[in-house]
Structure 1
């Protein structure tokens, strides 16, 4: 039996700290600025921020913002059902097992804050010990002792919890004022939909002044297709990935940007009058689905025993074939599985025409979004600010959980001010003692502090990257820039 270890972490009820409503209201009514604020930083202890400004080009400025100091250390969290938190009964059971093995552990309650579409919740952790930043190896020794006792555990940095912290924070803020900027905004999927590519590579090929990573991409599909965006993607007016209904999106057109929730509708109408819904665009089809592949897909269609109709740019059926084949340049492939393969065989005969109709709707006003060659849309992963007030829509955006709402991670955010200025932000994280990242609640606070009237969270974690004039100006948590599904480009 291992020696009895003293738990240096008190058994307390821990509450996530959120800025008061009055702070939001004050920020929301603050006029648009030509500079960033230097006081009133919404996170950590009060005090002035350290700020450095660099003019990039006419209308574009890059700011480095630093605030806070390290005070958090390490603890050891016991795992329950593979997670470091769970129900009270699960936590008590794990704690009892550890105590019987000779370890003094504490059960801690914490509250995940509620957001606009998901109520607050209570969960429990089981923890042991408290060590400084320089004592991580001591915590790792305890994890090994627990493992020897057949108890799963991990070292946890307390600054990642999303609870009260002193930081520090290391941010890059890029502001684009359309009144002085003469260029345009675009989305890019890189060389293809299926493949991932770094934002700096996409920026270099397009000749972009600056870029940030875009939305989330599908890491749960075939390994050769993991560049596929999760949610909507429109590039130069072409819908390359369908929307997930109700999720937030960043709409770009020339030098304007706005944020809203969207849905997309794609239909196929056959020459014999039959009409049906196309379920997806440029992704693996589920059972009994119809998926449209464009020549931007960059891979063969899946050989899944379905049926395919190869269409030219006018919708004429060039070939009817079994599933699994190349997508020639200038063609599209309508791919059916299960009962929808029967639809393809029955209503997409060679030389017939299929009319493919695509529509994207703004759910805030119910109006269609014209898909012109100047239009790009990037899907986000949690709306943060709406009309100058915090509005985190985690459930609609598929992020309603402790890890995404409460825990701190590197973040990439986009916001728009009342005057139409675009604000792009990366908050570095996962670097104990250097920078702690931000929770979703904190991300909303930061965007309000920066003057955003509308704001959205993009992909984060190791994907967070900001590129300015060919150089990555933040510090990606992987240590190197990660290949991602899409990017937002600022072109001259």
Structure 2
């Protein structure tokens, strides 16, 4: 027997009516209440509290539960995404040939392309994980990968409980500021959000950018995507990815943008050299998205792209030395080149070349050339972003909301689901976007207030997490006008007054060390060590 289920189309008529009504009511009321935490049907708020943290700074905590009956067989086996009817038929025919007849098919919207769908096949439902695992091990090897899933982590399931934290910043009342901070004040290395908050004497903090977690992907701790700290560019943007730009004076403001990064070297002989990256391992681009000026090279989340011929610039914040297969030179404040020495402390920059750019840089060094480094970070409309030392910027994705509307750009922001992708890549995108996970998000209301949001996940009975589409619904319900998803999963952490207020999902609830955090700092000149 075979059945067919469809994942609710993004913002169905019922959901759209609900979220739009809640959104309008939020704007009219001008405040967040318990009702704003209901993001789907068959839910109720089990508990809610609102506590003042500082003037203009409020901490909301809600526990939302499903009113649906619990599934008696919550465990299931499912396939990686099948992008064609032919692929779906081939898998189901193969399974039936091996005696698997309890098949269901589920349809999901392709990330970023809600008018297109893909399918997964469910091979049975089970009362326990061990029963599902036993059945999985009994199946023959298949070309299509199979996984064990849990109903509470599935957006089709009405099951679930959700632990949600919101730090609301009223920009007209709060006199503090927001700031990015690197772990250990350098690119290489990681710290927990709690360590970052304590070291900086922050009022509050959340995790921020995605980052390199393993040495084979680059420098551990390197934030991916745009990162600007106190007006200094520390990481280049990725094509088409969203970023939040924060300006602390004359008044705290936040803005969702799509940025372009252009770093160039102007040589004394008239040459102009484009620089491909800043403060990263030369030849490796975590999450990809570095390419021509037209941005045709798309980002690819959790993938490392290799580049053969490039120039990479290291600033004093790098905290690491160039790799052994590169040619590197030091640049002083006058733009003069010298051979790189690891013990040099006076260099403004280190310039690293790979591939066929090594002899080019060697010739410049031999000729005693001088240069000027020019940084240009702008919005897609050309508006410059490095015009002030008060600028902070961070990036992640995908975009959730843009100007009060759901914005679905996953396919160009790093989560493309294509026929050219292998099954493991398809499975990663499916689980990352369309299944429930812990999430961190930043929202900006129509009034300009800033919402820092965490939703715990992967903890049955505590918090299920959200799919990206469910997170959109939640941010709309909370009154966000613009919204961006930040790094999540085991990174999701919120700290207030040196206390972790959420329930991180890393092993045994241990805090995951991260690359950077967005800090809420006291006025007027908060101490940052």
For the superposition of Structure 1 and Structure 2, which TM-score range results when normalised by the shorter chain?
Answer: 0.7 to 0.9
- Aligned counterpart for 2:7 among listed residues 9, 15, 18: 15
- Aligned counterpart for 2:62 among listed residues 58, 61, 65: 65
- Aligned counterpart for 2:406 among listed residues 374, 379, 390: 390
Contact 2:239 2:413 in 1 (8 A): no
Q: Shift in Å at residue 15 of structure 1?
A: 2.5
Contact 2:322 2:328 in 1 (8 A): no
- Aligned counterpart for 2:181 among listed residues 176, 179, 188: 188
Contact 1:266 1:277 in 2 (8 A): yes
Deviating more after overlay: 122-131 vs 414-423 = 122-131
Indicate yes or no: 2:74 matched with 1:109.
no
Q: Secondary structure at the match of 1:481?
A: coil
- Aligned counterpart for 1:353 among listed residues 357, 363, 370: 370
Indicate yes or no: 2:327 matched with 1:307.
yes
Per-residue Cα deviation, 1:258-297 (whole angstroms, up to 9, x for no partner): 2111111100011222111111111122211011011211
Separation in 2 of the partners of 1:346 and 1:330? 20
Q: Higher helix share goes to which structure?
A: 2
Residues 32-47 of structure 1 mapped to structure 2, 5 A cutoff: 35-39=31-35, 41-47=38-44
* Alignment match, 1:275: 272
Q: Secondary structure at the match of 2:475?
A: helix
* Alignment match, 1:4: none
Q: Shift in Å at residue 178 of structure 1?
A: 2.0
Contact 2:443 2:481 in 1 (8 A): yes
Q: Secondary structure at the match of 1:482?
A: coil
* Alignment match, 1:426: 454
* Alignment match, 1:337: 354
Residues 89-488 of structure 1 mapped to structure 2, 5 A cutoff: 89-112=86-109, 115=112, 118-132=113-127, 135-146=128-139, 153-191=146-184, 192-219=186-213, 222=216, 225-254=219-248, 255-285=252-282, 286-304=307-325, 306-317=326-337, 319-321=338-340, 325=342, 328=345, 330-349=347-366, 352-363=369-380, 365-400=381-416, 401-478=429-506, 479-488=509-518
Considering only aligned residues, what root-mean-square deviation do their CA atoms show, in Å?
2.7
Separation in 1 of the partners of 2:363 and 2:489? 46
Contact 2:218 2:280 in 1 (8 A): no
Q: Shift in Å at residue 446 of structure 1?
A: 0.9
Contact 1:268 1:276 in 2 (8 A): yes
* Alignment match, 2:304: none
Indicate how the Cα distance of structure 1 residues 236 and 327 shifts in structure 2: closer, same or farther if over 3 A, else same: farther
Q: Secondary structure at the match of 1:395?
A: helix
Contact 1:390 1:444 in 2 (8 A): yes
Separation in 2 of the partners of 1:160 and 1:376? 34
Count the aligned residue pairs: 472
Q: Shift in Å at residue 164 of structure 1?
A: 4.5
Indicate how the Cα distance of structure 1 residues 195 and 350 shifts in structure 2: closer, same or farther if over 3 A, else same: farther
TM-score, normalising length: structure 1: 0.88
Q: Shift in Å at residue 152 of structure 1?
A: 6.3
Indicate how the Cα distance of structure 1 residues 437 and 210 shifts in structure 2: closer, same or farther if over 3 A, else same: same
Which ranges of structure 1 fall in alignment gaps of 5 or more residues?
Answer: 1-6
Indicate how the Cα distance of structure 1 residues 98 and 471 shifts in structure 2: closer, same or farther if over 3 A, else same: same
Q: Shift in Å at residue 147 of structure 1?
A: 6.7
Q: Shift in Å at residue 396 of structure 1?
A: 2.7
Q: Secondary structure at the match of 2:256?
A: strand
Separation in 1 of the partners of 2:433 and 2:115? 10
Contact 2:207 2:494 in 1 (8 A): yes
Indicate how the Cα distance of structure 1 residues 266 and 444 shifts in structure 2: closer, same or farther if over 3 A, else same: same
Which ranges of structure 2 fall in alignment gaps of 5 or more residues?
Answer: 283-306, 417-428, 523-529
Deviating more after overlay: 478-487 vs 421-430 = 478-487
Q: Shift in Å at residue 59 of structure 1?
A: 1.5
Per-residue Cα deviation, 1:327-382 (whole angstroms, up to 9, x for no partner): 7365311111122223312334576431000011112x421113533211101211
Contact 1:39 1:49 in 2 (8 A): no
Contact 1:50 1:67 in 2 (8 A): yes
Separation in 1 of the partners of 2:280 and 2:255? 26
Contact 1:234 1:376 in 2 (8 A): yes
Q: Secondary structure at the match of 2:512?
A: coil
